[in-house]
């Protein structure tokens, strides 16, 4: 029986297709072992080999595969193990990154051509443990990332459809301001969704994969809020533009709510309301959701500008008591001649 049969069935995830091909390679190595080395295979490992070669083969896991490869490292000839060192170290560097590899090399691992074989086996055994740890957890991390993207993407898509329908109804009832706000919220939510896509894709893939899983799991709530905050920031930015708190050629000017139809967008009749201004407005609404710090930083600058415009506040100094503790008394004037005793 497998060494991991004591685990609950729902936690024993079978090997994926690429894992089964990896298993076939390990089984081929066992098949080519010299008889005297194959006889040293422990009974528990032999049980896993029997399950893997049975007809039909039993369901094996990454843990079973790790046991097979760990035992192979222990029974392989010395020369083979020495030549495996560079390959395993290169795989470690590719999987965990150059920074982690430099930390490993700083620990001064045994030289594969000079050190004792037991030291080399111990070092490679630790590398093998790290490699299989990543092999087992990386698919889980990727499923979590893909699940978050699909879940949030569905909410943004269907929310956008509903907002477009509501915007159309609002435009038909001459509620053009409501229609404008809904469209800007859609643009901001899409910007927030694109921002969270980048955040998920930039999740560190090197190092301990369990840490990256924790980061995705614990940061999921902030990812859910990214489209919502993007929609709110888009509305705030629209109000900033209406209040003319910022100005410049790259910002929209002279905004009024626009009308919608199922055909092309009908722009307001005001001559200042050119389509490029509304195009800028939609783009900046997208940026408000995509660059999450853009609107908060803009508000901070506006607050700072308002404080500078008020000038320094003049607060009168509090009166000091005549005999405050630590205060210096004024020097006494010399007595007059009439005050001196005769």
Q: What is the pLDDT of residues 222-274, one digit of tens each?
A: 788 889 999 999 999 988 888 888 877 788 877 766 555 444 444 444 444 56
**pLDDT score for 96:** 83
- Residue 173 in tokens: 């009832």
Give the pLDDT score at 252.
80
The residue with greater pLDDT, 321 or 40, is 40
Question: What is the tens place of the pLDDT at every residue in 51-81?
Answer: 888 878 788 888 888 899 899 988 888 898 8
Gap between the Cα atoms of 260 and 19, Å rounded = 54
Give, as one character, the DSSP assignment of residue 12. Answer: -
CA angle at 306 for the pair 300 and 307, rounded to the nearest 5°: 90
pLDDT score for 317: 52
Residue boundaries of the structural domains of the chain:
9-136, 139-309
pLDDT value of position 238: 87
C-alpha 8, offset from chain centre: 31
Backbone φ, ψ for residue 93 (5° rounding): -65, -40
For the cut 80, the answer to whether the pLDDT of residue 216 exceeds it is: no
Own/partner long-range contacts of 221-225 (Cβ < 8 Å, ≥24 apart): 223/148, 223/152, 223/196, 223/199, 224/152
CB 189 within 8 A of CB 160: yes
Which pLDDT belongs to residue 263?
45
Rg of the chain's alpha carbons, rounded to an integer? 36
**Helix spans in the chain (H):** 17-31, 35-38, 43-52, 62-75, 78-96, 98-106, 117-172, 176-201, 209-218, 220-242, 275-290, 294-310
Inter-CA distances, 99 with 27, 31, 212, Å: 33, 37, 16
Strand partners, 259: 266
User: Is 85:127 a contact under the CB 8 Å cutoff?
Assistant: no
Distance, in Å, from the CA atom of 189 to the CA atom of 292, rounded to the nearest integer, reads 11
Instruction: Determine the average pLDDT of the residues in 17-44.
Output: 87
Chain centre to alpha carbon of residue 197: 9
Cα 203 from Cα 220, distance rounded (Å): 12
Contacts for 257 with CB less than 8 Å, ≥ 6 apart: 176, 177, 179, 180, 268
Q: Taking residues 314-326, report their average pLDDT.
A: 47
Percent of the chain with pLDDT over 90: 19
pTM, whole model, 2 decimals? 0.65
More confident residue, 204 or 267: 204
Phi, psi for 176 (deg, rounded to 5): -70, -30
Helix axes 220-242, 117-172, angle to 10 degrees: 40
């Amino acid at each position: 029986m497998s060494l991991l049969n004591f685990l609950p069935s729902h936690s024993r995830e079978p090997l994926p297709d690429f894992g089964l091909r990896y298993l076939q390679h390990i089984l081929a190595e066992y098949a080519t072992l010299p008889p005297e080395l194959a006889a040293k295979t422990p009974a528990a490992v032999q049980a896993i080999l029997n399950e893997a070669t049975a007809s039909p083969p039993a369901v094996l896991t990454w843990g079973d595969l790790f046991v097979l490869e760990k035992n192979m490292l222990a029974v392989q000839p010395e020369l083979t193990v020495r030549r495996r060192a560079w390959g395993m170290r290169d795989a470690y560097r590719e999987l965990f990154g150059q920074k982690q590899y430099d930390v490993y090399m700083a620990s001064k691992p045994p030289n594969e051509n000079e050190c004792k074989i037991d030291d080399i086996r111990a070092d490679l055994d630790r590398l093998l443990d790290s490699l299989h740890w990543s092999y087992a957890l990386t698919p889980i991390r990727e499923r979590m990332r893909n699940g978050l993207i699909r879940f949030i993407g569905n909410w943004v898509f269907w929310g956008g459809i509903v907002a477009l329908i509501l915007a159309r109804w609002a435009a038909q009832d001459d509620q053009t301001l409501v229609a404008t706000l809904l469209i800007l919220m859609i643009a901001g939510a899409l910007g927030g969704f694109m921002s969270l896509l980048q955040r998920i894709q930039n999740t560190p893939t090197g190092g301990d994969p369990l840490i990256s899983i924790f980061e995705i799991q614990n940061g999921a709530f902030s990812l859910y809020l990214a489209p919502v905050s993007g929609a709110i920031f888009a509305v705030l930015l629209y109000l900033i533009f209406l209040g003319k708190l910022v100005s410049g050629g790259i910002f929209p000017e002279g905004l009024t709510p626009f009308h919608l139809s199922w055909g092309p967008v009908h722009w307001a009749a005001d001559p200042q309301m050119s389509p490029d201004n509304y195009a800028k407005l939609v783009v900046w609404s997208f940026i408000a959701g995509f660059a999450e710090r853009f609107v908060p930083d803009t508000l901070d600058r506006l607050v700072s500008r308002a404080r500078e415009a008020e000038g320094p506040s003049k607060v009168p100094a509090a009166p000091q008591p005549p005999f405050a503790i630590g205060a210096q008394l004024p020097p006494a004037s010399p007595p007059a001649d009439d005050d001196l005793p005769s």
